[in-house]
Amino acid sequence: MFTLNLVIIIRLQVPRLALRRRLSALKGGVSRPAAWRHRPISFLCYILSVSTLRPLACRVALYRSFPTRLLSRAWGRLNGVELPTWLRKPIYSLYIWTFGVNMQEAAVEDLHHYRNLGEFFRRRLKPAVRPLCASSCLTSPADGRILHFGRVKNSEVEQVKGVTYSLEHFLGPQKRRCKDSSSSSSFRDDLLSSPDSDLFHVVIYLAPGDYHCFHSPTDWRVELRRHFPGSLMSVNPGVARWIKELFCLNERVVLTGQWQQGFFSLTAVGATNVGSIRIYFDQELQTNTPRYSKGSFHDHSYIADQTVKFAGEGGVALQKGESVGEFNLGSTIVLLFEAPKDFSFNLQPGQRIRVGEGLGSL
């Protein structure tokens, strides 16, 4: 591994003009140097995309061989180390400058208040800075950037433009909605409760500098939690372009249930250094454990579990804007939901969005 890393470093030592020409020749590659604060991810994308390194399959295999789960657990322990009071402001200030954090929105702006990096990452916001859009039936569950949105076609969903993943692999097996469903019906059709409805999706990427908590995008009831242990590869769009079904490979927590229009799901996708996904109303959930069976998943029904707070006959009732959970760093939220066919999004690909802003309307 040391020899391989040394070869990579040596190959990166090329004149800047030659580097630009080589990168610009790559479809979807980086054509100019990124801002300093984005260089760690850009550097990773560069390693995966340099044409002189190895064929694509080898580059992906090399990246997937990295012990990202182990590194994420180590990062989690580092986040919990209490920092001396005198050291907190310099470290947090460097992070704020690197990732463009807006501390004026934080409920506590004093950097000395946060005892460790974990507390700083999970900082709360002032109540007034994230008003809910009353005119929209569906609002953003997180701060971040819109990677993709639209109708689900052929039971395939785009994680970034041109790169798809299987809906069935992402959500896992589902119970059929109708007894009359034919054996030839698609996985997408099995999720729908009405022939007059369609299935839609939204993918929101949370960068390291974003607010790390996520909220309920609408009024709905959560009936099932499905936890998929898995890899913890970066979900940065630059990496997602290279790895098909990245969201199906990474660890994720899928919450499924019902809203006024039918099927609804919210999925928190883990990533490198985001091994810890917390759901506030589910204390039993444990993510990024040392051992797991590849391809396995674990279900927990909230309908049958009377020990869960707020659990009732129909599951866990959530109101629009209510806090649902948190990441320990940036990651991705995927919404999949049933809605009338005339549902329309009020979004643009790549736009920045914040908690409570409208996603679409009926």
Q: So which residues are the catalytic ones?
A: 143, 215, 331
Where do the DSSP E strands lie in 184-280? Answer: 197-205, 213-215, 220-228, 252-259, 262-269, 277-279
Burial class (CB in 10 A: 0-12, 13-18, 19+), 339: buried
Cβ atoms of 235 and 250 within 8 Å: the answer is yes
Where do the DSSP E strands lie in 46-155? Answer: 138-139, 144-151
Beta strand 262-269 pairing with 352-353: unpaired
Chain Cα centroid distance, residue 77 = 21
DSSP state for residue 237 in the 8-state scheme:
H
Closest CA to 338 of 250, 263, 251, 279: 263
Estimate the crossing angle of helix 39-49 against helix 56-64, to 10 degrees: 130
Closest CA to 264 of 361, 109, 138, 95: 138
